[in-house]
Amino acid sequence: MSLDETLTFVLELDRLKSVERRTPLLDGSRCENDAEHSWHVATAALALADYAPADASLPRVVSMLLVHDIVEIDAGDTPLYDHHGDQEAREQRAADRLFGLLPGARGAELRALWDEFEAGESADARFARALDRFLPLLHDIRTGGGSWLRTPGLTVDAVRDRVAVIERGSPELWAYAQDVLDEAVARGYLAA
């Protein structure tokens, strides 16, 4: 494996800092970027490890969370409540290019982690995906409606549908998410 080729990939990752998301920071000063989100959700996995499935591997979960949004360097962030029919194709093309920058087995290893996260079938991927949906939910309730209020006509049922993967990854976090959604309706952030 060539150091120069590996550094090309490492430097390309810096572009993730420029991909803005709709999720506001808790202080409301601006929206987070993808690099901040990836770091936050990976660190949250460490803190919330007690709520992971018994057969989940925390190092694999953290690794998945660190690579899960790399494709957005090329594909851009698709807000959770927007529907873009070409998102999967854009992300697959981006995965081919970006993970292809990393030579040898390492590129294949990181691509496999991304593919596993996307499939959402393993215990590791189910927990990682749960956290990926859980954190923005917390941000939205703690910022007075956050990205929910930027999406006209958004209902609690639509949000519940988009975050339902939390249930498969962590029943305890899902129960908490239900309370958050009830609170969002009570506060008028989401339509019933």
* 34 part of a folded domain: yes
Q: Is the pLDDT of residue 119 over 70?
A: yes
Q: What is the CATH number of the domain that holds 121?
A: 1.10.3210.10
Report the sign of the C-alpha dihedral through residues 93, 99, 103, 109, in that order.
negative
Based on the structure, what is the number of domains in the chain? 1
Q: What is the pLDDT of residues 51-99, one digit of tens each?
A: 999 999 999 999 999 999 999 999 999 877 776 678 889 999 999 999 9
Position 1 confidence tier, pLDDT thresholds 50, 70, 90: low
User: In the structure encoding, which two tokens stand for residue 183, read together?
Assistant: 């609170």
Per-residue buried b or exposed e for 167-186, using 16+ beta carbons within 10 Å of the residue's own CB:
bbbbeebbebbeebbeebee
Residue 25 DSSP class: P
Q: What is the mean pLDDT of the chain?
A: 95
In this model, does residue 145 exceed pLDDT 90? yes
Domain that holds residue 166: 3-186
- Which residues neighbour 122 within 8 Å (Cβ) at sequence distance 6 or greater? 116
Asked if residue 191 is part of any domain, the answer here is no
List beta partners, residue 24: 31
CA distance linking residue 162 with residue 148, whole number of Å: 12
The pLDDT assigned to 84 comes to 65
Q: Which residues contact 2 (CB under 8 A, 6 or more apart)?
A: 103
pLDDT at 150: 85
Asked whether residue 94 is assigned to any structural domain, the reply reads yes
Question: What pLDDT sits at residue 15?
Answer: 98
Asked if residue 66 belongs to a domain, the reply is yes
Q: Residue 155's pLDDT is what?
A: 94
CA distance 125 to 39: 17
Q: Is there a domain that residue 104 lies in?
A: yes
Q: Say if 68 falls within a structural domain.
A: yes
Kindly state the DSSP code that residue 191 receives in the 8-state scheme: B
Helices (H), the chain: 3-13, 34-47, 58-67, 72-75, 87-100, 104-119, 123-142, 156-162, 165-169, 171-186
Q: Are 46 and 65 in contact (CB under 8 A)?
A: no
- Report if residue 157 sits inside a domain: yes
Residue 167 forms part of a structural domain: yes
Q: What angle do CA 81, 88, 118 make, to 5 degrees?
A: 85
How do residues 29-51 score in pLDDT, each as one tens digit?
Answer: 999 999 999 999 999 999 999 99
